[in-house]
Amino acid sequence: MPFTLATWNINSVRLREGLVARLMSEEAPDVLCLQECKSPVEKIPLEQFASLGYGHIVARGQKGYNGVAILSRQPLTEVAAHDFAALGHARHVAARLENGVVIHNFYVPAGGDIPDREKNEKFGQKLDYLTQMRDHFIAEKPQRAILVGDLNIAPREDDVWNHKQLLKIVSHTPIEVDHLAAVQEAGDWVDVTRADIPEGPLFSWWSYRSPDWQNADKGRRLDHVWATSDIAGVAHSSRVLRDARGWDQPSDHAPVFATFDL
């Protein structure tokens, strides 16, 4: 049975409950992974989502910051929720579908403004978070697994609007790209979005500070869909729902989709 998955940094699930409902109604992914819910789990509007067919959830939350949730039309079993780098943040949760596929939902730390761990503690925490992700996937080799989320790194030249101009900007620095590549290698993860759409600019985030974001198009691809190599071959129909960035009171991220014939 094919299933479609979407990942979306929602930037407050309570403020944007209506946008989540719209995505559920209009696009109807089987599984919807959210990041930056900015809400304790008990305050997520679950009844509204259940009424739209998303009766299953696993989540980690905290007041005001971070927060990740997996909403599903089919049953889920929570299998993990790691606090990499011991930040005390709700940045990861993982669940298993009935077909055995495990879905990891991540919100990787943004890392602050200065790409130097001596001058900016947050940048060090981001690198440490990625290192511990790598070590985890070395210790526990994932199989039949999908990893999605806001990884806060745009790894490729065509994942940003201007490669040269962003080389010293957090999210596109070589050291972050190297750390992300190490995570990918450790888990034998395939970048499903880029396997599907190999060439050309592809963005999932446009700053709120960018006026005329649509025409200026100064975006970055921060949101990712990966799969282990044993199932990556059955993925297809990847896309970014750019329209959602233009909805009323939008998130600064657009949802990213993929379908798996499993």
Partner DNA sequence: ATGGTGGTGCCACCA
Pairwise CA distance, residues 245 & 15, whole Å? 15
**Which residue of the set 107, 129, 179, 223 is catalytic?**
107
What's the closest the beta carbon of residue 88 comes to DNA, in angstroms? 12
CB 101 within 8 A of CB 145: yes
DSSP state of 53: T
Instruction: Answer yes or no whether residue 110 interacts with DNA by CB under 7 A.
Output: yes
109 binds DNA (CB under 7 A): yes
For residue 112, the minimal CB distance to DNA (Å) is 6
Residue 208 within binding range of DNA, rule CB under 7 A: yes
Q: Is beta strand 2-9 parallel, antiparallel or unpaired with respect to 256-261? A: antiparallel
**Residue 150: active-site member:** yes
Question: Rule CB under 7 A: is residue 39 a binding residue for DNA?
Answer: yes
* Tokens coding 203: 């963005």
Rounded to whole angstroms, how far apart are CA atoms 150 and 221?
A: 9
Q: Could you tell me where the beta strands, DSSP code E, fall in 85-210?
A: 92-97, 102-107, 145-150, 189-191
By CB under 7 A, name the one of 14, 163, 168, 236 that touches DNA: 14
How far apart CA 153 and CA 212 sit, in angstroms, is: 23
Count of all residues that appear for the chain in the document: 262
Q: Which residues are annotated as a binding site?
A: 9, 36, 150, 152, 252-253
249 binds DNA (CB under 7 A): yes
The answer to the question of residue 209 lying near DNA (CB under 7 A) is yes
Nearer to DNA by Cβ, of 11 and 72: the residue is 11
- Compute φ and ψ for 175, nearest 5 degrees: -65, -35
The catalytic residues are 107, 150, 253
Q: Which residues bind DNA (CB under 7 A)?
A: 11-12, 14-15, 36, 38-39, 63-65, 109-110, 112, 122, 152, 207-209, 211, 249
